[in-house]
Structure 1
Amino acid sequence: MLEELLRPETININLESEDKDEVFEEMTELFVASCPGLDRSEVLDSLFEREKKMSTGIIQGIAIPHAITAKIKKPICAVGISKEGIDYEALDGKPVHIIFMFLFPADDAALHLNILKRLALMFDVPDFYKSLMDKNSCAQVVQAIVQAEQSL
């Protein structure tokens, strides 16, 4: 399922952002560059609106920001890794190092929930977090995610 959403052009293993606002901007650029029909401002507004409800920094060191938009027909995913960590206002108060950002179409809530559930299960796979942090290329990140998903 996640394998179908992953594309090297929407993965950044060297995030430069220092806080949540910056990382939303930086990762939104990955979406806009790979999906020319997306409006940068609309994507950011959707992400920030969802984030107002509750921080998506929900698992130690990991954030899963997501939003719904009518501008896409199928979900898209961006992955970002920060070796230094990002001040994300996470629920545990600790920096975030791995970010899975999703945009979901407005008409498929079941798929939206299924993808988020599947990702949460993957973080229960031993050493998955460490594995992602150790990767040196986008292709290696994709491979690690695919392997973790297949182990479920």
Structure 2
Amino acid sequence: MKLIDTLNSNLIKYPLAADNKVDAIKELLALLADQGAIQDQETVLKAVLERESIMTTGIGDGVAIPHCKTAEATRFVIALGIHPGGIDFDSLDKKPAHLIFLLVGPDNEPGMHIRLLSRISRIISKAPVRDRILACSKAEEVYQLINEEENNAFEVKTP
């Protein structure tokens, strides 16, 4: 499964209005609910915050990947919030998060959950990619950039 299978331009929020971690997660959950990707925002919020209490999902370099597995999800879905000023996400490097990828998935597919987290991490591990995302002015541009980067990162090379 590709990130693009779980994300579309309607699930990209730029700019995020939130000024803290919990409100950012709520804003992204509202986006998922508005698009019909989740039903019960409160249950999913509880699951995301439970996971967040175990260890921060602010991975550093201006990126956070809050996530959860829940019976509320029938499929994997990602919402991306972009906050130019950054939000304190208790990141490992103590820097604010500008790119917040919220991953919600069914609780019966842990392997796919890990693979999607890995794909996000791999794509955004390069500073130029993060900078290009932050330089985008429209959700569709961000979507196309992520699609391009995912194809480049996971392209099968044939001799």
**TM-score interval w.r.t. the shorter chain?**
over 0.9
- When residues 19 and 37 of structure 1 are mapped into structure 2, their CA distance, relative to the original with a 3 A threshold, is closer
**What code does the residue aligned with 2:147 have?**
V
In the alignment, the residues of structure 2 paired with residue 54 and residue 25 of structure 1 have an alpha-carbon distance, to the nearest angstrom, of 19
1:10-89 alignment runs, 5 A limit: 10-35=11-36, 38-89=39-90
In the alignment, the residues of structure 2 paired with residue 11 and residue 27 of structure 1 have an alpha-carbon distance, to the nearest angstrom, of 9
Asked if 2 retains the 8 angstrom alpha-carbon contact of 1:10 and 1:30, the reply is yes
**Structure 1 unaligned spans of 5+:** none
**What code does the residue aligned with 1:87 have?**
D
Give how far 1:36 is off.
Answer: 6.4
Please give the root-mean-square deviation of Cα atoms over the aligned residues, in Å.
1.3
In the alignment, the residues of structure 1 paired with residue 38 and residue 107 of structure 2 have an alpha-carbon distance, to the nearest angstrom, of 16
Match of 2:6 in 1: 5
In the alignment, the residues of structure 2 paired with residue 116 and residue 24 of structure 1 have an alpha-carbon distance, to the nearest angstrom, of 17
| Offset from partner CA, 1:33-80 (integer Å, 9 cap, x none) | 112651111011011000000000013100000011112221000000
Identity %: 30
Match of 2:149 in 1: 148
- When residues 9 and 100 of structure 1 are mapped into structure 2, their CA distance, relative to the original with a 3 A threshold, is same
**What code does the residue aligned with 1:96 have?**
A
- When residues 36 and 112 of structure 1 are mapped into structure 2, their CA distance, relative to the original with a 3 A threshold, is closer
TM-score normalised according to structure 2 size: 0.91
In the alignment, the residues of structure 2 paired with residue 46 and residue 54 of structure 1 have an alpha-carbon distance, to the nearest angstrom, of 13
In the alignment, the residues of structure 2 paired with residue 78 and residue 36 of structure 1 have an alpha-carbon distance, to the nearest angstrom, of 10
Asked if 1 retains the 8 angstrom alpha-carbon contact of 2:63 and 2:97, the reply is yes
Length, aligned pairs only: 152
In the alignment, the residues of structure 2 paired with residue 40 and residue 125 of structure 1 have an alpha-carbon distance, to the nearest angstrom, of 32
Asked if 2 retains the 8 angstrom alpha-carbon contact of 1:125 and 1:148, the reply is no
Q: Which runs of 4+ in 1 moved over 6 A?
A: none
Asked if 1 retains the 8 angstrom alpha-carbon contact of 2:38 and 2:72, the reply is yes
Q: Determine helix, strand or coil for the equivalent of 2:98.
A: strand
Match of 2:105 in 1: 104
In the alignment, the residues of structure 1 paired with residue 37 and residue 146 of structure 2 have an alpha-carbon distance, to the nearest angstrom, of 26
**Structure 2 unaligned spans of 5+:** 154-159
**What code does the residue aligned with 1:22 have?**
D
In the alignment, the residues of structure 1 paired with residue 81 and residue 38 of structure 2 have an alpha-carbon distance, to the nearest angstrom, of 22
